[in-house]
Chain A
Amino acid sequence: MKTLSTLALASALGISALGALPAQAEDIQLLNASYDPTRELYQDYNQLFSQWYEEQTGDTVTVEQSHGGSGGQSRSVIDGLPADVVTLALGYDIDAIADRTGKIPEDWQSKLPHNSAPYTSTIVFLVRKGNPKNIQDWDDLTKDDVEVITPNPKTSGGARWNFLAGWIYILKQELGDLSKLDDPQYADEVESAQAAAQQYVSELYQHVPVLDSGARGATNTFVQRGLGDVLLAWENEAFLATQELGQDQFDIVVPSVSILTEPPVTVVEGNVENKGEGAEKAANAYLEHLYSPEAQKLIAANYYRPINPEAADPEDVARFPDLELHTVNEIFGGWRKAQETYFNDGGVFDKIYQP
């Protein structure tokens, strides 16, 4: 059976150029478990991919979507959600699946280019039109009369990026040069900078009136319910909100420093291998094709920063502002460490709410 479908695949690849489809064309169903703000992106991409894959192989692929807070989605896969690919907000949520189920190999992040992140984004501010509270940078968020909307870092990936982005800003303010972080000679200075950052985030969360469980809920609260003065948002989410929900209602404010978010993707091998070789091939192709020029173009059109900007529409690329971006690996020594220090039970985030 398996060899048959491989043969079919091979022959399909060979003869599809002639327009003759093999009789053994498969109907493949894949499930993509993703995080909140990628709904529109994958709606478009699934169409693009299905069409392309059918042209290539004759197999029809239908991709089903499941969306939610990144941490919650990861938990669902651990509990048995039969996702074939996961496209989550941050690496730790995929690490968690790998650790707890073994369905994903430990070295998953090296399987695809750019740390398995086919697109990046960053964290920016979305404010009400005209920026009435005059919010320009991270330190404006803790001004007395400012209300900040951000989701719950325990369940939302975007919220964890928000938290860390603010943290980086304070480190940068305090240290001036972030390379001091790795230099033992500045250990004292670094320690006081870290303390200042913790002080800052605990003040920041005093200004948060609602903690939604996912980024989408937070955007809804800000945009639709009219709550808060500033939304800490994925850049793509902020663009989407301004473009689709009211050009004249919101402005995007780009802070001086932010974090380079790298939402990774990987195949859940332990799930897809039960579906046969055809599905496995399709799942791998689904993620690899995200790096293709067509997909990169689509990614930019959906407000994510493409890995390969040359492939994208220059107009789309021009929308992305230039700002100083740092990665989690550079500042926090990777996601596992960051998760443990800041977001696990008893971590820094929990301490914020302990008086």
Chain B
Amino acid sequence: MSQRKSMLPGFGLSLGITVFTVSLLVLIPLLALVTRSAELSLGGIWDTLADRRVLAAFRVSFSTAFAAAFLNIFMGLVVAWVLVRYPLPFKRFWDSLIDLPFALPTAVAGIVLTTLYSPNGWLGQFFADLGIRVAFTPLGITIALIFIGLPFVVRTVEPILQDLDRQQEEASTSLGASRWQTFRRVLLPPLIPAILTGFSLAFARGLGEYGSVIFIAGNMPMKSEIVPLLIVTKLEQYNYPGATVIALASLVVAFVMLLVINGLQHWTRKRTGRG
């Protein structure tokens, strides 16, 4: 088991604390989720999940989280590129600000974004003039998720971008490649694993996000109702099995996402040779 490192102390204690805490906070709760879902028959579980409204909620959650994470690839890439490559006044300030969505409580983000994008809000009024409604539509959900997910892509791409070897770039340019060709052929390939990791992190977070979304989502069944809200709604109608089954389904999705992310990070590490 612990072969050559066995001379270090504290294995039993630290493992004990870790396993105890993880069991109490993660394993037992998940077990509760599974056993409570098992109270329904397979048919019952199927009926719950195949319900049109549940499917629609999954569709809304998936499509908005995907759209937001996808847009974040481009916005995150531009921001990371500028922050790493270009001289910019107050760079340190802009750079620290990127983490705001991590630090700002989601409820605050929710009420602020709703205020900004509602038809009479600072930004919403311009959209309203164009006949576009942002708040209370899937578009509003997407905007909230862009806010929540922005740091993920920036933060995963930044370190890779910093470490990129400039010589290859110079070689490519001196061989007559255009800037765009250099970007596509030389710069982009090493960034792809990091971009994908950032994308999946933002996507996974977007699937589960609640606080910042419920204020701005319209909560319309079939149109702008997200999965976490549906869980709460089922819960508030005393429909525990329903809430539990939907929770379990989204948990499975989260778990798969986690495996994907870990795989991607492994790949990134292998490709870039950094820890």
Residues of A within 8 A of B (CB): 69, 71-72, 75, 78, 96, 100, 152, 154-155, 208-213, 221, 224-227, 345, 350, 353-355
Whole-angstrom distance from the CB of A90 to the nearest CB of chain B?
14
Contact code string B244-268 (vs A, CB < 8 Å = 1, else 0): 0000000000000000000000000
Whole-angstrom distance from the CB of A235 to the nearest CB of chain B?
24
- Of the listed residues B53, B224, B233, B235, the one surrounded by the most CB atoms of chain A closer than 10 A to its CB is B233
Q: Determine the distance from Cα of A69 to Cα of B118 in the docked complex, in whole angstroms.
A: 23
Q: Determine the distance from Cα of A224 to Cα of B136 in the docked complex, in whole angstroms.
A: 13
Q: Determine the distance from Cα of A78 to Cα of B221 in the docked complex, in whole angstroms.
A: 26
Quick check: A75 and B119 within 8 Å, CB to CB?
no
Query: Which of chain A's residues have a CB closer than 8 A to the CB of B220?
Result: 208-211
Quick check: A75 and B235 within 8 Å, CB to CB?
yes
Residue in A72, A208, A226 whose CB lies within 8 Å of B236: A72
Chain A CB within 8 A of B239 CB: yes
Residue in A96, A208, A225, A353 whose CB lies within 8 Å of B238: A96
Quick check: B119 and A152 within 8 Å, CB to CB?
no
- Known A213-B233, A226-B120, A354-B52; 13 more pairs at CB < 8 Å: A96-B238, A152-B219, A209-B136, A209-B220, A210-B219, A210-B220, A211-B225, A221-B136, A225-B114, A227-B135, A227-B136, A345-B239, A350-B53
Chain A CB within 8 A of B242 CB: yes
Query: A155-B236, A225-B119, A354-B52 given as contacts; is B242 within 8 A of A212 (CB)?
Result: no
A sample of 21 inter-chain contacts (CB < 8 A) reads: A71-B236, A72-B236, A100-B238, A154-B233, A155-B233, A210-B136, A211-B221, A211-B225, A213-B219, A213-B232, A225-B135, A225-B136, A226-B120, A227-B118, A227-B119, A227-B135, A345-B242, A350-B53, A353-B221, A354-B52, A355-B52
Query: Which of chain A's residues have a CB closer than 8 A to the CB of B135?
Result: 225, 227
Chain A CB within 8 A of B222 CB: yes
Query: A209-B220, A211-B221, A225-B135 given as contacts; is B120 within 8 A of A75 (CB)?
Result: no
Query: Which of chain B's residues have a CB closer than 8 A to the CB of A355?
Result: 52
Query: Which of chain A's residues have a CB closer than 8 A to the CB of B119?
Result: 225-227
* In the A-B complex, the 10 residue pairs with the closest CB atoms: A72-B236, A225-B118, A226-B120, A210-B218, A155-B236, A210-B136, A211-B219, A353-B221, A226-B119, A75-B236
Quick check: A69 and B236 within 8 Å, CB to CB?
yes
Query: Which of chain B's residues have a CB closer than 8 A to the CB of A350?
Result: 53
Contact code string B188-230 (vs A, CB < 8 Å = 1, else 0): 0000000000000000000000000000001111101100000
Chain A interface main SS type: loop
Quick check: A353 and B242 within 8 Å, CB to CB?
no
Whole-angstrom distance from the CB of A75 to the nearest CB of chain B?
5
Quick check: B219 and A212 within 8 Å, CB to CB?
yes
Query: Which of chain B's residues have a CB closer than 8 A to the CB of A96?
Result: 238
Chain A CB within 8 A of B237 CB: yes
Query: Which of chain B's residues have a CB closer than 8 A to the CB of A100?
Result: 238
Query: Which of chain A's residues have a CB closer than 8 A to the CB of B232?
Result: 213
Q: Determine the distance from Cα of A221 to Cα of B135 in the docked complex, in whole angstroms.
A: 10
CB proximity to A under 8 Å, residues B113-159: 114, 118-120, 135-136
Quick check: B237 and A225 within 8 Å, CB to CB?
no
Q: Determine the distance from Cα of A221 to Cα of B140 in the docked complex, in whole angstroms.
A: 14
Q: Determine the distance from Cα of A212 to Cα of B214 in the docked complex, in whole angstroms.
A: 9
Query: Which of chain A's residues have a CB closer than 8 A to the CB of B239?
Result: 345
Quick check: B136 and A154 within 8 Å, CB to CB?
no
Residue in A69, A152, A225 whose CB lies within 8 Å of B120: A225
Contact code string B49-78 (vs A, CB < 8 Å = 1, else 0): 000110000000000000000000000000
Whole-angstrom distance from the CB of B254 to the nearest CB of chain A?
24
Query: A225-B135, A226-B118, A353-B53 given as contacts; is B221 within 8 A of A71 (CB)?
Result: no
- Of the listed residues A78, A350, A353, A355, the one surrounded by the most CB atoms of chain B closer than 10 A to its CB is A353
Query: Which of chain B's residues have a CB closer than 8 A to the CB of A152?
Result: 219, 233
Question: Chain A: which residue is nearest B117 at the CB level?
Answer: A225
Q: Determine the distance from Cα of A213 to Cα of B226 in the docked complex, in whole angstroms.
A: 13
Q: Determine the distance from Cα of A157 to Cα of B2 in the docked complex, in whole angstroms.
A: 60
Q: Determine the distance from Cα of A355 to Cα of B222 in the docked complex, in whole angstroms.
A: 10
Q: Determine the distance from Cα of A100 to Cα of B238 in the docked complex, in whole angstroms.
A: 10
Quick check: A78 and B219 within 8 Å, CB to CB?
no
Quick check: A209 and B218 within 8 Å, CB to CB?
yes
Query: Which of chain B's residues have a CB closer than 8 A to the CB of A209?
Result: 136, 218, 220
Question: Chain A: which residue is nearest B225 at the CB level?
Answer: A211
Query: A211-B220, A212-B219, A213-B219 given as contacts; is B237 within 8 A of A71 (CB)?
Result: yes
Query: Which of chain B's residues have a CB closer than 8 A to the CB of A227?
Result: 118-119, 135-136
CB proximity to A under 8 Å, residues B91-116: 114
